[in-house]
Structure 1
């Protein structure tokens, strides 16, 4: 994890974002939210994805919002965007994403 620009704390995730990895990813995201700064989640080196991974991103943004923090996604992989599209969540994903791959 590193401090990003514009006052955001940036956490870079890598590897699979599926049901089997959620506990570890969730703990990383909760720790990042606990820093107390707006959060940028870099997803460039993540994959494969499943719906559980997308649900975790929804949960992270909601947790940040409850804590008064902005949570933004960057470098969202195409496969994640495709899952959002199939799930009817494209508009939500676009609303929290700064960049797609």
Structure 2
């Protein structure tokens, strides 16, 4: 028998926590086949932060957005490199003496 990971929405977590507060921790964990420690964590998050504490703590990043951010960083590095080159060239031009040309 393989265990399959279940996912619960914030609303599902909220209703399960409410039920555990009303009916008891052990009964609800058996009813939903949840680990008592997981239910305890949800309950503590709810008591600490309210309903917002039961939301997912991670944010899924859109792959397209990630690709755009990587391209943005690459372009920023290119611009920084070019700006540095321009600064070095302007400093070199300031140091070279300007005098009459010899023919």
Whichever structure has more helix as a proportion of its residues is 2
Q: Larger % of strand: which?
A: 1
- Report the TM-score when normalising by structure 1: 0.25
Which protein shows a greater Rg? 2
